[in-house]
Amino acid sequence: MLSLFQIIKPSNSPIYIQIRTATKRAAGSRTSMKDSAGRRLGPKKYDGQRVKVGEIIMRQRGTKIYPGEYVGIGKDHTLFALEPGFVRYYLDPFHPRKKFVGVSLREDIKLPRPHFDPRVRRFGHILLDNKKAALKEENSLSRKQYLVKDSIMKKYNERIEDRLKLLNNFKSSLKDIISVENVDTNIAANYLVRLRMLLRNGFLLKDAQFYSQQYLKSEVDLQGKREQWSLEKVSTYKHKINSTCKYLDNNVSFDNKFKLINFISLEEKEKLKKELHHNLTEEPVATAKKIKDSTINPSSFLSLREENKLKRKINSILQSEKNAKV
C-alpha cells in the first residue's frame, strides 16, 4: 500500500504536504517514547502528623483532595500548610462528594468542626521577654515578602518624595491665591494634599472635605498622645484646623486636572458654561481660536469629560474653516 508521500512526491509537485499525527513522537518531545520519571505524586504527610508553615501535605494532578482549614492550594494543585499544627484528612457533611485535608492547631481538635462554629484561631503566640529575640521576630519576613521588600520600599519612598514636592508646591502657590496671614500654611498644605488625593480617588467634594479634615484631627490626637499634650492644647489645634479648612473651602478649589485655582462656586461655573456655549454658537471660529491659544481656560469650570468633548468640537470647527479657505 502506497503512502501519501509516495503518491505526491516533492520532486514532481511544488506543493509540500506535512502530515501531523497525534503521537508523542510526532510532537518532537525530548523524552518521546521513553520512560520518564514519575512525578512523585501522593500524600507527603499523613493523618496526625505535625506540619510547619509551608510544608507540602499532598501533591496531586487535579483536585482529588480539596484544601480545608488552614490549608492552601497551589496552581499545580499542591496542598500545603498555612499554620503549624496536625494534619487531618476528613469528609465534610456539607460537601459529601469531596475529600478534604486540614490542619488542626491542637492535637486534641478533630476535623470537621461544627459548620456554624467560629474557626479556631491562634491569637498572640508567646510573649518574648528577650529584647533581641523580640526585635528579630518583629523584623522577620516571609521569603515572598523578603524578595519584594526592596521594590516595595523603593515605591514607598518615591510616593513620600512626590507628596513632599506637592506639599511644597501648595505652600508656594497658596501665596499667589490667598492671603497667607489668615491660615496656618502647614495645616493648609497638608489638608490640600489629602483633599486632592481623595478627589482623585473619586470621592465627592463634600465627602473629601469631611474626611480630609477628620484625618488631620486624628493625626493631632495621635501626636498629642505621643507627646503628652494637654487637652487644652489639642482642642486649640483642632480649632485651628477647623478655621483653616473652612477658609480654604471658601477660597480655593481644584480644576479638572487637580491643579490649585481660585474658588469658583457652582453658580459661577454654570454661568461660565452658558457664556462659552453662547460664544461658540455666535462666534465659533473666534472662540475656538481663543480656547486653542489658552486665552480662555475651560478646565477651571468644565469637567474633564466636558473639556474633551469641547476640544473635539473646536478641532472640527477649525478644520472646517481650514477646508473652506482651501
250-277 pLDDT per residue, tens: 888 888 888 888 888 888 888 888 888 8
Backbone angles phi, psi at 3, to 5 degrees: -85, 170
DSSP conformational letter for 85? E
pLDDT at res. 311: 81
- Alpha-carbon gap, residue 165 to 195, rounded angstroms: 16
Residue segments in the chain with a per-residue pLDDT below the cut of 50: 1-10, 24
The confidence score (pLDDT) of residue 326 equals 60
Give pLDDT, residue 277: 82
Three-state DSSP class for residue 92: strand
CB count within 10 Å of CB 281 equals 9
pLDDT reported for residue 8: 45
Return the C-alpha cell found at 117. 462554629
Closest CA to 264 of 252, 256, 273: 252
Angle formed by the axes of helices 284-292 and 266-282, nearest 10°: 120
User: Across the chain, which distance is largest between two alpha carbons, in Å?
Assistant: 105
Please report the pLDDT score of residue 1 as a whole number: 47
CA distance 322 to 315: 10
CA distance 148 to 141: 10
pLDDT of amino acid 7:
45
